[in-house]
Chain A
Amino acid sequence: MHRLLPILLLLLTAAPAVGATDSADAERGEYLARIGNCAGCHTAPGGEPFAGGLRLDSPYGTFITPNITPDAATGIGDWGADDLWAAMHDGERADGSPLYPACPYPSYTRVERDDIDAIHAYLETVPAVAHETAPHDLDWPYGYRPLVNLWQALYFEPGTPADTADADPVRARGRYLVEGLGHCDGCHRARGTFGATDTEADAPGAMIHGWYAPPLADPAQAGLQDWPVAEAAALLRSGRTEHAATMGPMADVVFDSLQYLSSEDAQAMATYLKSIPARTVASPERLIGLSERGREAAMREGGRIYANACADCHGDEGEGGDGAPSLAGNRAVTMDNPVNVANMIRRGGFPPATAGNPRPYGMPPFHQLSERELAAVISYIRGSWGNDAAPVSATNLRR
């Protein structure tokens, strides 16, 4: 008996230690899964977290996101850590077939094994939900999955590209998050043939849910090259700074994902984003020019609309106010592509509610404006108080 006792004691003391490591991994995995925004796609509106069923429309048809809860029959309960690694790093499902790149594994492939294992540990702890999701509804011939093998051979290289070594550990961490789990390029870079991301330094942005995700290389668009790091980090975490508010799909990303960033990681991402070499990136949207008389008429009409509908909150000089960001010098209104500012005026809405901005001010929708009136007020905002962007015509805003 006395020989057994030490062994028993050892077992008793060792067991909680193993448990503690598991739960620490799972906790870290929860944080990383937030940054990767897994739940953003793998949760249907109003559905159970990670149980899938969200419809993702694409030029190739509709993808239905799968259930990634630990339910053995309908989820990924029978996936070991190696299986998740194969999916995230190699784009390969547990049965060996390829994953459609609707899942951003071309970005996730840069994530280290340790972090994927932590995410696996976390996913094992989320409640298992029995939810059989519908098969993808893809156009011919894209529904034939083996074609993805061909796609991977042409456009996908697993692992980290060789040129990412960085002497600055903060910037390196930022790049790891931006290009890996954050998969920012998934929206902020155009996609070329068959949905492969355009990797050119001056790639334009891309349309997502009717909004334009502007390129991160252009300081006149979404580039943060000219921003103080602290302000850029604050925008990522709180969705709102004195001069900018995130709206549209980016507001969803802040709400679901980036608001959970640690302040160190937000700082790191901002540091890297700031260091991206600045480029002038042409917008794929061609603005239709206005004659000088047309421009003057738009400025007059736009000024009237602005004074009536906008100035109360955004200020007579576009200087902004308590709830409303400044419009003077605001890139969201001056960048070439006017689709976002048109959406904001037509649809209104709230920036995300976050710890840094828990009670956001909402902008009323102005869907009663005609296309001509909308073009006029946008032209006025783009050409006033030091803003020097070209006017837009109603034709630019037609959908």
Chain B
Amino acid sequence: MHRLATIVSCLLYLLCLPAEGIAADDGMGDRVAACTACHAEEGIRLEDGYVPRIHGKPAGYLYNQLVNYQTLRRRNATMNHMVSHLSRDYLYEIARHFAERHPPYPAAAERPGRALAERGEQLVREGDPQAEVPACASCHGERLTGVQPNTPGLVGLPRQYIMAQLGAWQVGTRHAAAPDCMAEITARLDGRDVEAVAAWLAARPVPDNTEPADTPIAEPPMDCGSVPAPDDNA
């Protein structure tokens, strides 16, 4: 019996090898040198400002962003240019490559002033029921590290980046696949709310477990759209 288990696990291991080979690297590090020129392999620094951390985010989320850049739902001249003639399969492979990498996070930014911090924490933890703004944590996870497969983590991001994204949704230069829940939410935020959320999140120490949560949110407050990933053969 013992022997059988060994053989079976060896076979399983062999079966997994090719997929693991792709996941491990297979030259992907060199292939995505265009990405890591900004989204550095060793992780971003907060003072890089606008450039977000992409490492360790759920593959589905990263894939959706690459598709959004390709279809101009999301606008950034460099990113739109980078992905303009890559196949969906390759975009997903690139997404998985970064999802599986976990370089260290930067130290948290300085804590904002009290009033801003309180409003930020309130919006993240409880939302603003009167303005029909759900809490960030109600979708992005208790630890704010995101939820598989399509919801990104919000920790370890530069403040300028978070502000720019919420602003981009407000003015229509960032969209997600319909229903675009973040477009609705950001329409209910004012400028100070955006500032408060960004400042509080950027100052949030990264939790010990930075992996996106595996269990889906039981009762999400809103419907959010996403593009289904290509068949994942890995």
Q: Which residues of A contact B (CB under 8 A)?
A: 45-46, 251-252, 254-256, 313, 322-323, 347-353, 358-365, 367
Contacts and interface: CB of A to CB of B under 8 A. Distances in A.
Shortest Cβ-Cβ A-B pairs, 3 listed: A46-B71, A362-B34, A364-B37
Contacts of A256: 85
Contacts of B204: none
Nearest to A46: B71
Contact of B85 (A45, A352, A364): A352
28 contacts: A45-B71, A46-B73, A251-B85, A252-B85, A254-B85, A255-B84, A255-B85, A256-B85, A322-B27, A323-B27, A323-B30, A347-B78, A347-B81, A349-B82, A352-B86, A353-B85, A353-B86, A353-B89, A359-B28, A360-B86, A361-B33, A362-B35, A363-B33, A363-B34, A364-B36, A364-B37, A365-B78, A367-B78
A365 B37 contact: yes
B217 interface: no
B34 A353 contact: no
A110 B11 CA distance: 60
B206 to A, nearest CB: 27
Given A348-B82, A349-B82, A358 B89 contact: yes
A358 B87 contact: yes
B192 interface: no
Contacts of A348: 34, 37, 82
A364 B84 contact: no
Nearest to B86: A353
Nearest to B36: A364
Contacts of B81: 347, 349
A48 B143 CA distance: 39
Nearest to B82: A349
Contacts of A252: 84-85
Nearest to B27: A322
Nearest to A365: B78
Interface string B13-43: 0000000000000011011111111000000
A37 B36 CA distance: 33
Interface of B: 27-28, 30-37, 70-73, 78, 81-87, 89-90, 93
Nearest to A347: B81
A271 B44 CA distance: 49
B37 A350 contact: no
Contacts of A352: 85-86
A10 B89 CA distance: 47
Contacts of B89: 353, 358
A347 to B, nearest CB: 6
A359 B26 CA distance: 11
A291 B178 CA distance: 59
B27 A350 contact: no
A349 B32 CA distance: 10
Contact of B33 (A46, A313, A351): A313
Contacts of A363: 33-34
A246 B27 CA distance: 21
Contacts of B86: 350, 352-353, 360
Contacts of A360: 31, 86, 90
B137 to A, nearest CB: 31
A350 B93 contact: no
B85 A362 contact: no
Give the one of A313, A350, A367 with max B CB within 10 A: A350
Contacts of A254: 85
A363 B35 CA distance: 9
A354 to B, nearest CB: 8
Contacts of B35: 362
B78 A353 contact: no
A165 B89 CA distance: 43
Contact of B90 (A46, A323, A347, A358): A358
A140 to B, nearest CB: 30
A348 B83 CA distance: 11
A363 B31 CA distance: 8
Contact of B30 (A46, A251, A353, A361): A361
A256 B84 CA distance: 11
B30 to A, nearest CB: 6
B34 A365 contact: yes
Given A251-B85, A256-B85, A350-B82, 12 more contacts: A46-B71, A255-B84, A255-B85, A323-B31, A349-B81, A350-B83, A350-B85, A353-B87, A358-B87, A359-B28, A359-B31, A359-B90
